[in-house]
Chains A and B, each alone.
Chain A
């Protein structure tokens, strides 16, 4: 019940295209859903996050779409750039708990 399933494992997108990464969860107690970006040799960095009381959140080229009934959320990267090439992790957290539960990650490569 604590799992967060993420897909795809890897993704190649052309420059200027849209990158879409999907996550699904089971635990309905999760109430905070962040996305992290990780470059090689670096730690994860918070990119954008959403709470289940909204269906969408946009920050620049990054948008989270949230479907509470389906228990799914996704990250959309518009106008993808080579500098976006990184590993992206979705995660989920329960307000009454301590730990952040991560998905398995998506390696994004944006080609010229």
Chain B
């Protein structure tokens, strides 16, 4: 949905580099969810954040991955020392409140390719 802005749309990184993915939620939304979609697979939950807080990071790999949602600015998903297996589409969704999936929208995703 055009209301949730993700950038960049496409990102190419060499193995070992860092990838930073940005997500600006819809106006009025203070909850952000990050999902990863591997080819031919569904979307897998990674992390759920509110402003300045990580609420649930149970789907996030323990190493190399981190996420933040500062008081000002977009939410950032950061992948350090990328490997080929990190190649995927990363989507964020935003909602006005916790569990507000009926009012949630997804962005168009960032397609990360690790070469």
Task: Tell me if B43 and A102 are in contact (CB < 8 A).
Answer: yes
Whether a CB of chain A sits under 8 angstroms from the CB of B26 is no
User: How many residue pairs between the two chains, A and B, have CB atoms under 8 Å in the bound complex?
Assistant: 61
Chain B residues, Cβ within 8 Å of A49: 102
Whether a CB of chain A sits under 8 angstroms from the CB of B69 is no
Which candidate, A14-22, A72-80, A89-97, is the interface stretch facing chain B? Answer: A89-97
**Nearest B-chain residue to A10, judged by Cβ:** B40
Task: Tell me if B101 and A93 are in contact (CB < 8 A).
Answer: yes
Taken together as a complex, chains A and B put the C-alpha atoms of A104 and B39 apart, in Å, by 10
**Nearest B-chain residue to A89, judged by Cβ:** B42
Whether a CB of chain A sits under 8 angstroms from the CB of B52 is no
Chain B residues, Cβ within 8 Å of A41: 108
Chain A residues, Cβ within 8 Å of B45: 99-101
Q: B-facing mask of A21-33, CB < 8 A → 1, else 0?
A: 0000000000010
> How many residues on the A side are at the interface (Cβ–Cβ under 8 A)?
23
Task: Tell me if B1 and A43 are in contact (CB < 8 A).
Answer: yes
**Nearest B-chain residue to A99, judged by Cβ:** B45
Whether a CB of chain A sits under 8 angstroms from the CB of B73 is no
Q: A-facing mask of B93-115, CB < 8 A → 1, else 0?
A: 10000110110111111000000
Residues 16-56 of B contacting A (Cβ, < 8 Å) = 33, 35, 40-45, 48, 55-56
Given contacts A43-B4, A89-B42, contact A99 B56 (CB under 8 A): yes
**Nearest A-chain residue to B58, judged by Cβ:** A99
Partner of B41, one of A36, A93, A99, A104: A104
Given contacts A97-B99, A98-B98, contact A45 B43 (CB under 8 A): no
* Given contact pairs A34-B101, A99-B58, a sample of 7 additional A-B residue pairs in the complex whose CB atoms are under 8 Å apart: A41-B108, A43-B1, A43-B93, A43-B109, A46-B105, A98-B56, A102-B43
What is the interface of chain B, defined by CB distance below 8 A to chain A?
1, 4, 6, 33, 35, 40-45, 48, 55-56, 58-59, 91, 93, 98-99, 101-102, 104-109
Which 6 A-B residue pairings sit nearest by Cβ, starting from the closest?
A43-B106, A102-B42, A99-B45, A104-B42, A98-B56, A102-B43
